[in-house]
Chain A
Amino acid sequence: MESILTINNLTKKFGYLTAVKDLSFTINKGNVYGILGPNGSGKSTTLGIVLNVVNKTEGNFHWFDGNTTTHDALKKVGAIIENPNFYPYMTAFQNLKLVCKIKGIDYSKIDEKLAIVGLLERKESKFRTYSLGMKQRLAIASALLNDPEILILDEPTNGLDPQGIHQIREIIKQIAAKGTTILLASHLLDEVEKVCSHVVVLRKGVKLYSGRVDEMISSHGFFELKCNKQDELIQVLENTKTFGKIKVQDNLVTAFLNEPMKSEDFNKFLFEKGIILTHLVQRKESLEEQFLQLTDNKQN
């Protein structure tokens, strides 16, 4: 697969503090990646390094095939870090023109991209008159100007109201649907879960996991069950090797699978044992549950 960004043993120290420690991962074309981690886990620092604004202490990284300089590679990248930064005294259109000049592209796409984020009517307004949501959307338009190979978003919904968050997510989904590679840093897990196929999990600058979202922990999911004959159900479950841990909360039984099993097979199996379920749901752990499990495991 064509790689877009390769990071090898990257380390960044701020004095005594090690913000990123020996980090390695690769971003391949066409996937949507999430960088997960609590605040201060080194997400923004990592992005800062590959975006040429923070100096690395050790290690290396290269964009695309490694034959372009970082600043030339960045002309093919669209990125937004934390807050949208533009010249307050210029209009949206003038700001985007400046970005075009930096990236060395013509102005023909400005209107098109402003339309995508819904700012076309306000393009002649000065940047300082914009609301935070509009500023963030302008930043996305600016990142899309060059039809980038990869779009990097660092906390894109930070500080926005629910409506703004929804708008930004819809835009991200639209972009992802077009096959653009996306790298999304966030501490909001449901945000990552909704759009990402791959994740890199960081804690205190150390990589805990990188790979597909659904393979994050070796789990086959679990069943949530309700039944009128609860004691019998639990006994059957405990005597079957397919199941590991069994949790009972009020009248809801949660049974964790040791090996894959389809819900229809399970239902048939219980029916043959004379147990009729009133409630059957097969689920996988949510990203949040997986994330907490992963960070807890590593802590112990």
Chain B
Amino acid sequence: MLRLLNLELQKLLLNRTSKILIFVSFVLPFFVILLSSIKINVFGFFTLELGELGVFNFPIIWHLTTFFASQFKFFFAIVVVSMIGNEYSNKTLKQNLIDGLSKKEFILSKFYTIVFFSLISTLLIGLISLCIGLYYSSYNEFSIIIRETNFLVAYFVKLVGFFSLCLFFGMLVKRSAFALAFLFILYILEWIIFGLITWQSDHILAEKIQNFFPLKSMYKLIDQPFQRIAMTKFPDKTELVYDYAVHWNEIIIVLCWTALFVFLSYRLLKKRDL
């Protein structure tokens, strides 16, 4: 396993473009969160400090940081599709196989890399959230700090699932740009199907079905936190109440998709003549 990871890391880290993209996808969310946590003086008129709003309180901070950081996953998605696209365009996939890598090992080396970077990203976000939280949070009891750390698990699963989808599209169309276009098409398709079901039956059923779709199920892992922040501000407004928690069934759906995408990538490669 380490050998396969090591192989892929050499391919990625010696490539300048992917090195920059990896850097951006990890460091950018890190800095955005860090910057938002410091006190910003807007031209001397007033000071903007998000910490004052209570958004950096435990346990809501886990929700907030993972939600924002996951918006940056697109940068690494480019890396994932290009690491497949490049293997095809340089024909190095063929050479790798001739040199004695099995098709299974090839897919696994890509998947391990995805897991590796998702893990690093999760650890980084976890660490920075903990630091900011400890600095700002009004509650510092251990039991409150570790409450809702399952958002970190959700974040990790979300990244692995999304990148596995990219891996599959990369294998399917062999070209990075087209693979990214496919992602967009899938996104539109999910909404079209959602619309069709709403039209034929009702909104609630459509949403229930849509929650099983790949992109929506990944998005659903970490619901948007704005409504929750509003909820804490106006606790008496009951129409704001919604279910924001991470549910195990949501995680299982995404894990199923992940397994399916990795398996399909392998099947595609196995059937294909290079």
Residues of A at under 8 Å CB distance from B?
A: 14, 48, 51-55, 69-72, 74-75, 77, 79, 81, 83, 85-90, 94, 97-99, 101-104, 142
Contacts and interface: CB of A to CB of B under 8 A. Distances in A.
A115 B103 CA distance: 32
B7 A52 contact: no
B268 to A, nearest CB: 12
Nearest to A54: B273
B97 A85 contact: no
Contacts of A85: 90-92, 94-95
Interface string B1-17: 00100110011001110
A101 B92 contact: no
A103 B102 contact: no
B273 A48 contact: yes
Contacts of B271: 55
A71 B92 CA distance: 16
Contact of B7 (A51, A81, A101): A101
Given A54-B273, A83-B91, A85-B91, A71 B100 contact: yes
B227 interface: no
Given A94-B10, A98-B10, A75 B91 contact: no
Contacts of A71: 97, 100-102, 105
A75 B95 contact: no
Interface of B: 3, 6-7, 10-11, 14-16, 86, 90-92, 94-103, 105, 270-274
Contacts of B95: 81, 85-86
CB-CB nearest 4 A-B residue pairs: A75-B100, A71-B102, A74-B100, A85-B95
Given A86-B90, A87-B11, A97-B10, A54 B99 contact: no
A137 B10 CA distance: 23
Nearest to A99: B99
Given A85-B95, A90-B14, A94-B14, A104 B102 contact: no
Contact of B94 (A53, A74, A87, A94): A53
A53 B102 contact: no
B55 to A, nearest CB: 42
B274 A54 contact: yes
Most buried by A among B7, B90, B94, B100: B100
Given A71-B100, A101-B3, A81 B15 contact: no
A103 B98 CA distance: 10
Given A71-B105, A94-B10, 7 more contacts: A81-B94, A81-B95, A86-B90, A87-B15, A97-B10, A101-B6, A102-B96
Contact of B90 (A54, A87, A98, A142): A87
B98 A74 contact: yes
A258 B97 CA distance: 50
A102 B4 CA distance: 8
A72 B100 contact: yes
A142 B101 CA distance: 15
Given A89-B15, A98-B10, A81 B98 contact: yes
Contact of A74 (B11, B99, B270, B272): B99
Contacts of B86: 87
24 contacts: A14-B273, A51-B97, A51-B98, A52-B98, A53-B94, A71-B100, A71-B101, A74-B100, A79-B98, A81-B94, A81-B95, A81-B98, A85-B90, A86-B95, A89-B16, A94-B14, A97-B10, A101-B10, A102-B96, A102-B99, A102-B101, A103-B99, A103-B100, A142-B99
Nearest to B18: A89
A48 B137 CA distance: 62
Contacts of A53: 94, 97-98, 273-274
Nearest to B101: A102
B12 to A, nearest CB: 11
B6 to A, nearest CB: 6
Q: Which of B3, B14, B86 has the most CB of A within 10 A?
A: B14
A81 B99 CA distance: 11
A101 B160 CA distance: 25
Given A54-B273, A85-B92, A104 B3 contact: yes
A127 B15 CA distance: 13
A293 B272 CA distance: 38
Nearest to B96: A102
A86 B89 CA distance: 11
A83 B116 CA distance: 33
B94 A102 contact: no
Contacts of B273: 14, 48, 53-55
B100 A102 contact: yes
A53, A69, A102 — most chain B CB neighbours (10 Å)? A102
